[in-house]
Amino acid sequence: MKKIKVLIIDDSQLIQELLTTIFSSDNRLKVVGCANDPHEARQMIKDLNPDVLTLDVEMPRMNGITFLKNVMRLRPMPVVMISTLTSEGSQITMQALETGAIDFVEKPVHLNKILEEYKHTIISKVMTAASVPKSKLLRFQNRLTAEEKAKIKPIDIQRAMAINIPSQPSNKIIAIGGSTGGLEALRAMLSNTRFTGCESIVVALHLPGSFTASYARRLNEYLPVTVKEAEEGERILPGHVYIAPGGKHLKIKRRAVGYQCKLEESDPVNRHRPSVDVLFESVAEQAKADALGILLTGMGKDGAVGLLKILQMGGHTYAQDEESSVVWGMPGSAVAIDAVATDNVKDLNKLASVIPVFAKQ
């Protein structure tokens, strides 16, 4: 079997040695080199022809974002970011995912005690990144520039002013889940949604705790509705998107009118906390026919069983199609167990149009 060639780009020799040890423990992977900075990495990419890169966020001589932009422009290839658990690190990581990185993993804090779970996570993410075809990497070359985004912003403000948010919440609720590629998929889908103001949306993504608030703030900048990290006991209001905090499961509880958020730190489900299955199953039980579930791109099968439960309880279910997904593991698993009808497997633009229609019914 041909091994997947990994090039590690990190200015810390300790991290280089650690990642080399982790990847070398899996016979499907082969570390072909370690670069101390992007300048060294450029030549090593030419000489070693790696299948996937791991890239540190903050490095001397050239930061990870600048290097990533160059890679995506000149030689698109799968990249997994190695990110620090800081506010600045999370912001840069969000930029990296927007620029073209497939996924990210936290830089280990306790270098003398690397848990098996961490090894499994980083190996899985590198394996998944290596499987993404080049045609899907090229989609990042068509991103809007900062100048173009600035021109669009006044239109977004007009859209926000035009939204008529009801004073009372509805019993209808929209639940969305995703993993690898899901952060950008969610942003793209919601950016194309013509919000009516009636939408109450809850989201579970496979994010660590330090990244959720940063991601919610970044989405809030793009969208004409309010996006925030979910808090224990808060009411779920129309015109709002609630992101499950990293490290906590998000559930909903039905009130006399509308719902409220419930957060739990119970065991991970499908290796994840938050888990999409936990959110979807809660939505199915509490909202029944008033629920809409959408499962986006991601590796694994988290969310498939929960989406099936939404369908069985009378709700509506949709999934992202394979062509537009970075990884079709989660949506594909849902399709395999008949949790979503074939006609309801759609690209992001079509999924975007489903949201306001459901909310206004």
pLDDT band at 226 (very low <50, low <70, confident <90, very high): very high
Domain identity same for 124 and 158: no
For residues 182 and 322, membership in a common domain is answered with: yes
Which range, of 113-122, 243-252, 268-277, averages the lowest pLDDT?
Answer: 113-122
**Collapsed DSSP state (helix, strand, coil) of residue 168:** coil
Confidence at residue 112, expressed as pLDDT on a 0 to 100 scale: 59
The residue type found at 23 is: F
Which of 118, 142, 166 corresponds to the end of one domain?
142
> What was the pLDDT predicted at 150?
46
Choosing from 142, 173, 194, the residue where a domain stops is: 142
What is d(CA 60, CA 67) in angstroms, rounded to the nearest whole number? Answer: 11
Q: What is the pLDDT of residue 262?
A: 98
Which residues touch 159 (CB under 8 Å, ≥6 apart)?
194, 195, 224
What pLDDT is recorded for position 241? 97
Residue 195: phi, psi to the nearest 5? -60, 140
Residues 219, 70: one domain?
no
Same domain, 301 and 166: yes
C-alpha–C-alpha distance, residues 194 and 211, integer Å = 27
The predicted structure's pLDDT at residue 115: 76
CB 57 within 8 A of CB 88: no
Closest by CA position to 357, among listed 227, 195, 244: 195
User: Are residues 168 and 70 part of one domain?
Assistant: no
Q: Beta strand 291-295 with 249-254: parallel, antiparallel or unpaired?
A: unpaired
Amino acid 114: pLDDT: 62
Q: What are phi and psi of 251, to 5 degrees?
A: -125, 170
Handedness of CA 160, 164, 167, 168 (dihedral sign): negative
| CA end-to-end distance (rounded Å), the chain | 53
Q: What does the pLDDT look like over 69-119, one tens digit per residue?
A: 999 988 999 999 988 766 666 778 888 888 889 999 988 766 655 678 889
Cα 141 to Cα 39, 145, 184, 215, 271: the distances in Å are: 22, 10, 14, 22, 33
Residue 352, amino acid: A
Are residue 202 and residue 230 in the same domain, yes or no?
Answer: yes
Query: CATH code at 137?
Result: 3.40.50.2300
The CATH number of whichever domain residue 200 belongs to comes to 3.40.50.180
Distance, CA of 104 to chain centre: 10
Of 94, 120, 142, the last residue of a domain is 142
Mean pLDDT, to the nearest integer, of 277-285? 98
Do 206 and 277 belong to one domain? yes
pTM, two decimals, is: 0.90
276 and 182 within one domain? yes
Instruction: State the Cα–Cα distance between residues 92 and 125, nearest whole angstrom.
Output: 19
Within 8 A by CB and 6+ apart from 278, the residues are 204, 249, 250, 251, 264, 269, 306
Given a cut of 90, whether residue 237 has pLDDT beyond it is: yes
Provide the β-strand partners of residue 53: 7, 79
Task: Quote the number of domains for the chain.
Answer: 2
Mean pLDDT of the residues in the chain: 89
Residue 162 pLDDT > 80, yes or no? no
Which residues form the catalytic set? 179, 206, 302
- Specify whether 132 is located in the same domain as 186: no
Candidates 260, 235, 254, 267; CA nearest to 313 is 254
Q: Are residues 122 and 166 in the same domain?
A: no
Amino acid 111: pLDDT: 60
166-188: average pLDDT: 91
User: What is the DSSP secondary-structure string of 210-231?
Assistant: HHHHHHHHHHHHH-SSEEEE--
- Find the domain containing 51 and state its range: 4-142
Smallest CA-to-CA distance from 122 within 178, 90, 82 is with 82
| Order of all β-strands in the sheet with 79-83 | 29-35, 4-9, 52-56, 79-83, 103-106
Answer yes or no: do 97 and 164 share one domain.
no
User: Is 60 exceeded by the pLDDT of residue 136?
Assistant: yes
| Phi–psi pair at 138, nearest 5 degrees | -65, -15
Same domain, 227 and 290: yes
